[in-house]
Amino acid sequence: MKVKNERLRPKNQRVSNTRQRRQQHLLDVRVRSHKATQHRNRRILVALSKIALALVLVIGIILGVRFGAKHFFFENPDYQLSQIEIQTDGTLQREQILKAADLREGGNIFGVNLAQVRDRLQQLPQVDEVQVTRKLPGEIDIRITERKPIAWITSDKQISDPFASEVAFLVDARGVLMKEKKLLPEYLGLPLITGCTSESLEPGKTVESFEAKAALELLRQSTASFMQTRFQVREIDVSKGYCLVVSDKNHTRVTFGFDNLETQLQRLEQFLVYADDSKRELATVNLLVQRNIPVTFGRNAVDVINDTVDPDAEPRIMKAIPVHPLAKNESTTATSKARPSATPTVRKAVPLEKFRKD
């Protein structure tokens, strides 16, 4: 039986046990792992080669561009900065602008950093807006819009001449302080804000105190309506800390609160209209009071004039002195001689009311 079974076994079937099969499996795994490692290393090498080639190309392009830019632009004499055009609407001088911008003619126009020039000029207290443009081949244009001062401001309570004072500064509508090197005549007529002791005043800084901001807001609103011609602010005293004491060109003193400035100006406008209709001058107005506003009137101009004359004196009419034309045969030298005439009687001043009655 055993012999018969051995004859029925296929000839190509290998006889192996469990240990042999395990060893054969380990050998196949090692071969496959080695091939996978080689394949992975080959892919990494190809990727690194591509990256290196790309870096070489990029570096070559960069160096080529830099060389070309340096040769055709930065070292090209055709692009030499030969003209700096400056336009400003204020008092800044050309030398002052060029010094602040650190800009001079003769260099390469592409070597000028326009952003840095603009930032440097923007730091000047007088400058509000700056535009810097490059015009090829050799020109740079600078356009400056300067701040427009609307008032003087000082920490002193009284000041006679802001032009000559070292503690008086110009201030624009945004509250930026300025110290102009060249003072224009129109600056002398600007309003004066006094008594601003709650902060340090330095050129380039912005006022932060509530009193100074309220004074600037009052100036802005008063110049945007009927008040601009009828009530021209000459001085604003903020030293009290709880109100604004404003004096106009006619020496009228008006006390404003910090809040609701528009409403207070409307009330003041009503008083001014009443004073104009009644031909009287306002002396003081206290707008801090909501109702029954205290108002005082000054003396009428006619009354002031009448106080300087004698109402009992009889007016005398001055007789006109006739002027005789020269005869044709008279020499021109005779015109220089004084003609005898009667001494005129000096007329005394007459009250205006008497002329009105006549």
- The whole-number average pLDDT for the span 231-247 is 93
Q: With a cut of 70, say whether residue 272 has pLDDT above it.
A: yes
Spell out where the chain has E strands.
Answer: 83-88, 127-135, 139-146, 149-154, 168-172, 177-178, 192-194, 233-237, 244-248, 253-256, 281-286, 295-298
What's the pLDDT score for residue 316? Answer: 57
pLDDT tens digit sequence for 65-113 = 877 767 676 778 888 899 999 999 888 889 999 999 999 888 888 889 9
What's the pLDDT score for residue 345? Answer: 44
Q: How far apart are CA 350 and CA 312, in angstroms?
A: 10
- The whole-number average pLDDT for the span 351-356 is 44
pLDDT tens digit sequence for 25-48 = 565 666 667 777 878 888 888 888
Q: With a cut of 70, say whether residue 159 has pLDDT above it.
A: yes
pLDDT tier at 150 (50, 70, 90 boundaries)?
Answer: very high
Higher-confidence residue: 347 or 140?
A: 140
Burial status of residue 248 (CB atoms within 10 A of its CB: 0-12, 13-18, 19 or more)? buried
What's the pTM value of the predicted model, to 2 decimals? 0.61
Q: How far apart are CA 42 and CA 212, in angstroms?
A: 77
What's the pLDDT score for residue 10? Answer: 53
What's the pLDDT score for residue 230? Answer: 80
pLDDT tier at 3 (50, 70, 90 boundaries)?
Answer: very low
Q: Is the C-alpha dihedral spanning 116, 122, 123, 126 positive or negative?
A: positive
Q: How far apart are CA 200 and CA 219, in angstroms?
A: 21
Q: With a cut of 70, say whether residue 59 has pLDDT above it.
A: yes
Q: How far apart are CA 262 and CA 320, in angstroms?
A: 57
- The whole-number average pLDDT for the span 151-178 is 89
Higher-confidence residue: 98 or 334?
A: 98
C-beta separation of 163 from 187 below 8 A:
yes
Q: How far apart are CA 206 and CA 209, in angstroms?
A: 9
User: Would strands 192-194 and 149-154 be described as parallel, antiparallel, or unpaired?
Assistant: parallel
Q: With a cut of 80, say whether residue 227 has pLDDT above it.
A: no
pLDDT tier at 303 (50, 70, 90 boundaries)?
Answer: low
Q: Tokens for 251?
A: 């020496």
C-beta separation of 285 from 251 below 8 A:
no
Higher-confidence residue: 124 or 36?
A: 124
Q: Tokens for 12?
A: 């190509």
**Residue 56 backbone dihedrals phi, psi, to 5 degrees:** -60, -40
What's the pLDDT score for residue 157? Answer: 85
Q: How many CA atoms lie within 13 A of 321 on its CB side?
A: 8
What's the pLDDT score for residue 37? Answer: 80
DSSP 115-126: HHHHHHHHTSTT
Share of the chain above pLDDT 70, in %: 72
pLDDT tier at 338 (50, 70, 90 boundaries)?
Answer: very low
Q: With a cut of 90, say whether residue 243 has pLDDT above it.
A: yes
Q: Tokens for 210?
A: 């509530």
Q: How far apart are CA 109 and CA 132, in angstroms?
A: 12
Q: How far apart are CA 99 and CA 185, in angstroms?
A: 26
What's the pLDDT score for residue 162? Answer: 86
**Residue 20 backbone dihedrals phi, psi, to 5 degrees:** -65, -40
Q: Helix, strand or coil for residue 296?
A: strand
What's the pLDDT score for residue 306? Answer: 63
pLDDT tier at 305 (50, 70, 90 boundaries)?
Answer: low
Q: How far apart are CA 284 and CA 300, in angstroms?
A: 15
Choose the weakest-confidence range: 34-43, 190-199, 201-210, 240-249: 34-43
C-beta separation of 296 from 279 below 8 A:
no
User: Would strands 192-194 and 233-237 be described as parallel, antiparallel, or unpaired?
Assistant: parallel
Q: How far apart are CA 259 and CA 281, in angstroms?
A: 26
C-beta separation of 263 from 221 below 8 A:
no
What's the pLDDT score for residue 43? Answer: 86
Share of the chain above pLDDT 90, in %: 34
What's the pLDDT score for residue 343? Answer: 45
Higher-confidence residue: 16 or 168?
A: 168
Strand partners, 172: 149
DSSP 72-101: IIIT-GGGB--EEEEEESSS--HHHHHHHH
Cβ-based neighbours of 352, under 8 Å, separated by 6 or more: 302, 305, 306
User: Would strands 127-135 and 244-248 be described as parallel, antiparallel, or unpaired?
Assistant: unpaired
